[in-house]
Structure 1
Amino acid sequence: MNNDLSIFYLISQASLVVQLVMLILLVASVMSWTFIFAKRKELAATFQVTEQFEQAFWSGGDLSELYAKITEEGREVEGIEKIFIAGYKEFSRMHKVVSMPASDKVENAQRAMRIELSRELDRLDESLPFLATIGSTSPYVGLFGTVWGIMNSFRSLSTAKQATLAQVAPGIAEALVATAIGLFAAIPAVVAYNRFSTRVDRLAGRYEIFVDEFVVLLQRQAHS
């Protein structure tokens, strides 16, 4: 009997169903890490844009100059900048309508910002459901592979004249590898999902505060 119980040997000797389960989990793990690195980079860039914009917005400069700077040709607009552009553009358009009450002008600008805010939050939430799915299902998929492998091990023992630990250990070990791979795929996904969800919630809070503060400024301009 082969005494090699290395991970690679156990995987190579596993049944086809268990190997398929392992392959699915490995693919899920690779996809999960791809999403994790991409989302981490995206959120870091979004926080940076938010910090830079808030500094420029509260520096006391002319909002029209800030709008022109953000919307200049060739510049990519991101995150909170899109919310500002939506509100400022709508307010400027409504401000030209002399017959419209000031409150309606501000309300239209606020509605435009709320719509853009929802779009930004939807964009930030992309891939998070995928991480949640990987984190919640991978252990069960791995457990399925383990149960299947153990069933095969005990089925083979039923035809053996004398059952020993040496006979059953390799089969059980290779089956448990599926659970290990399932946990390997699930744990990073769960940690990343919780981390990213917290950061998205923080951004959502900052966006909400900005919309409320900007609405106050627009109300002052509308009545001036």
Structure 2
Amino acid sequence: MFEALYQYQGQLLQGLTTTLIVAFGSFVVGFLIAAVLAPAAVYGNLLTRRIIMGYVGLIRGLPELLVIFLIFYGGTVLLTKLAGRYVEVDALTAGIASLSVVSAAYLTEILRSALLSVAQGQWEAALSLGFRRPRAFLLVVLQQMMVKALPGLTNQWLVILKESALVSVIGLEELMRKSVVAAGATHQPLAFYLAAAGFYVIITGISTLLLKAYETRLTPHMR
């Protein structure tokens, strides 16, 4: 068993690297989208709020695997029609785009809820000091919003990290797919699936510790 793991360690580490790229890329892109959508969902006009909440509701109602298929195969069809020749969407691009769309929906709701939980008095206090609304948001409201949102953001990062395994269905050789290939080649599935499980546990454990430390830094008064 250990000999087989040693033989495929390089491939497993390559798969782990791809997993981290997909997860981190999806989370960052999703967060950037949510950072725009969440304030618009709170302070925008009625039509804007309805469109954003419609997007959130739609994505939250779809299986992540279906979103991956829609973007991978739908993107290929769209690009093929636009280019006039067959163009296939890169699996890595499709994987990050798909999980970004999914994470953006959940992160929008997390940030929106956190923003709504900030007391109105914080706005009033900042405005009474002469701050304009954009500055009041950046210097007063944003930090409080992030403190409230951090537990949800941590949970969503862990979810995206694990859901990155789904992109193996479109041929992306991340950790799970590398483990499946190695298990089939060596006929030792238990060894490689346990190794994959170990990698996921280590990554999620380190992530949880780092984000917990960051949360403690943001809330020194709660130590």
Q: TM-score range by the shorter chain?
A: 0.3 to 0.5
What TM-score, normalized to structure 2?
0.32
Q: Which has the higher contact order (CA 8 A, sep 6+)?
A: 1
